Amino acid sequence: MNAHPPNGVWDSLRQSRTRRLERAASLGFGKEIPVDRIIDLLEAVIQPGDRVCLEGNNQKQADFLAESLADCSPERINHLSLVQSVLALPSHVDLFERGLANRLDFSFSGPQGARLAKLVQEQRIEIGAIHTYLELFGRYFMDLTPNVALIAAQAADAEGNLYLGPNTEDTPVIVEATAFKGGIVIAQVNERLEKLPRVDVPADWVDFTVLAPKPNYIEPLFTRDPAQITEVQVLMAMMAIKGIYAEYGVTRLNHGIGFDTAAIELLLPTYAADLGLKGKICTHWALNPHPTLIPAIEAGFVESVHCFGSEVGMDAYISARSDVFFTGADGSMRSNRAFSQTAGLYACDMFIGSTLQMDLAGNSSTATLGRITGFGGAPNMGSDPHGRRHASPAWLKAGREAYGANAIRGRKLVVQMVETFREHMAPVFVEELDAWQLQKMMGAELPPIMIYGDDVSHIVTEEGIANLLLCRTPEEREQAIRGVAGFTPVGLARDKAMVENLRDRGIIRRAEDLGIDPRMATRDLLAARSVKDLVRWSGGLYAPPSRFRNW
């Protein structure tokens, strides 16, 4: 913020913290805050210009604290810089519209993307930068350390120790950065208990707790109804399993959430098992607890899953499968986004996910005009880490493909899987991504690209697989992409002779080249075809949220 003043004061943060706590004490506040006085507390301990981390994670939201902060007086609290993983709630955006906050550093804002874009156009918000989660967490310990953290916990005991429960997510990272740089930590809790199932945050690190009027909001983001998986997605899943997973022996991986990857998960006990791949692929996962992974777990494919957060309805199943999931001595799951993202970066041999647009260099983005959403963990997962040193068969094989027989390093597999057309016949493959127009509109330094082309190793479409690692020139790369871009204008403009040549060299492989008959791609191959099937696979342990049930 500012350089240290010339008068030699070296503990200004500690002094500021003491003053804030004294203000709270003078208003009669102890550690436990009555729910009807939360606004007084916030106005007492937060100062204009503060950097505030409002726990907006992917699944879990400190919604009561967010709404309360948005109700504070802009005369008393203003010019806040917000740092948070996900801008999910309307109240998050209200903070800017009501003049309490004016600057934002974040990672993802899916539900509020349109409102955010509008605020940028109206110049009522300054976006510092969009980050990937791990990158933002890193900056919490460098130049974006919060002064105040508003977090969500499951329970507090009388001392103020916190139990975070299965949806631990980002909380440890937020609290560590804030508590150890003189910051104030305020937690909303769902219940007060005499004894916590386990201590996730020690009371020493927590300044105030408030019992929220209702349990904190959790969004079931990672549930996909198998009933909606299409035949085309089954076909692409078959190609991915046979052409990539089996080919490279991918044992450690992350799936970006989507129906395409859900199809792969549901094909493991059937198609992949028939190919003799059990035990050879998909053994170790950095993954949220996707309900669609249940059949693969039950069928014995999966040894271990570490989760970024939990998923509504999965807690009982997770607890009953403690060999697979990370759970505490109390039995409930422990998730941790920072560590899962680290595992995803360095300890996974493959990332596979979908996208909305891709250009001829292989750059891909979900950024579309009129919305500013960021990318969450994808840029991290979908990147080849140059710091990696340990070898694995998949990494070495990909490295040889990319760098030749004398490669001195390996390569992570970064796979983009996508149908060539989206809804309303919008082509996915384009000459120029919307990201460039968005950059101009946002006044940003860089176009918002989710995964850079030079990190992408493979593209899977309904037309086949393009192996970009084997491409030696930009022209080959361009034609390899056009060669799987189907009937989009980009695909139709392919150089047919070059594409045939690429196919001869195995750089492009069609379903037939992989020995896959597209007519075998039916929903019958899915191990579960409905949410009810998933419940049956789980032996009744999975309890889907009501929007996915008709019972």
Contact status: 492 vs other proteins (CB under 8 A) = yes
Q: How far is the CB of 528 from other proteins (least distance, A)?
A: 7
503-532 residues near other proteins, rule: CB under 8 A: 518-521, 523-524, 527-530
Neighbouring C-alpha atoms within 13 Å toward the C-beta of 300: 6
Length of the chain: 551
Q: Which of 40, 67, 94, 231 binds other proteins (CB under 8 A)?
A: 231
DSSP characters for 273-286?
HHTT-BTTB--EEE
Tell me the chain's radius of gyration from C-alpha atoms: 24
Phi and psi torsions of 483, nearest 5°? -70, -15
Q: Which of 16, 78, 230, 437 binds other proteins (CB under 8 A)?
A: 230
User: Is 380 within 8 Å of 285 (Cβ atoms)?
Assistant: no
Q: How far is the CB of 408 from other proteins (least distance, A)?
A: 40
Contact status: 356 vs other proteins (CB under 8 A) = no
Q: Which of 16, 102, 121, 270 binds other proteins (CB under 8 A)?
A: 270
User: Which is nearer to other proteins, 58 or 420 (by Cβ)?
Assistant: 420
Contact status: 280 vs other proteins (CB under 8 A) = no
User: Which is nearer to other proteins, 342 or 530 (by Cβ)?
Assistant: 530
Q: How far is the CB of 117 from other proteins (least distance, A)?
A: 28
Q: How far is the CB of 503 from other proteins (least distance, A)?
A: 13
Of 155, 232, 260, give the one whose Cα is nearest residue 197.
Answer: 155
Counting residues that bind other proteins (by CB under 8 A) gives 36
Choose the binding region for other proteins from 315-323, 437-445, 471-479, 542-550 (rule: CB under 8 A): 542-550
Neighbouring C-alpha atoms within 13 Å toward the C-beta of 174: 33
Choose the binding region for other proteins from 205-213, 254-262, 315-323, 533-541 (rule: CB under 8 A): 533-541
372-401 residues near other proteins, rule: CB under 8 A: none
Q: Alpha-carbon dihedral of residues 449, 423, 475, 473, nearest 10 degrees?
A: 50
User: Which is nearer to other proteins, 26 or 550 (by Cβ)?
Assistant: 550
Choose the binding region for other proteins from 79-87, 304-312, 383-391, 485-493 (rule: CB under 8 A): 485-493
User: Which is nearer to other proteins, 393 or 540 (by Cβ)?
Assistant: 540
CA distance 355 to 365: 6
Q: How far is the CB of 488 from other proteins (least distance, A)?
A: 8
User: Which is nearer to other proteins, 26 or 546 (by Cβ)?
Assistant: 546
289-348 residues near other proteins, rule: CB under 8 A: 295, 298-299
Quickly list H helices, 90-132: 90-97, 113-121
447-466 residues near other proteins, rule: CB under 8 A: 462
Q: Which two tokens stand for residue 327?
A: 């759970």
Of 321, 394, 381, give the one whose Cα is nearest residue 345.
Answer: 381
Choose the binding region for other proteins from 59-67, 281-289, 333-341, 417-425 (rule: CB under 8 A): 417-425
User: Is 449 within 8 Å of 439 (Cβ atoms)?
Assistant: no
The DSSP bridge partners found for residue 129 are 105
According to DSSP, the β-strands at 148-156 and 184-192 are: parallel
User: Which is nearer to other proteins, 349 or 419 (by Cβ)?
Assistant: 419
User: Could you tell me the CA-to-CA distances from 443 to 129, 438, 511 in Å, in that order?
Assistant: 11, 8, 43
User: Is 477 within 8 Å of 411 (Cβ atoms)?
Assistant: no
CA distance 308 to 301: 20
Of 138, 159, 168, 139, give the one whose Cα is nearest residue 206.
Answer: 159
Q: How far is the CB of 548 from other proteins (least distance, A)?
A: 9
User: Which is nearer to other proteins, 13 or 227 (by Cβ)?
Assistant: 227
Contact status: 551 vs other proteins (CB under 8 A) = yes
CA distance 351 to 61: 27
User: Is 208 within 8 Å of 24 (Cβ atoms)?
Assistant: yes
Choose the binding region for other proteins from 56-64, 316-324, 396-404, 484-492 (rule: CB under 8 A): 484-492
Binding stretches for other proteins (CB under 8 A): 227, 230-232, 235, 269-270, 295, 298-299, 419-421, 425, 462, 486-487, 492, 518-521, 523-524, 527-530, 533, 536-537, 546-547, 549-551
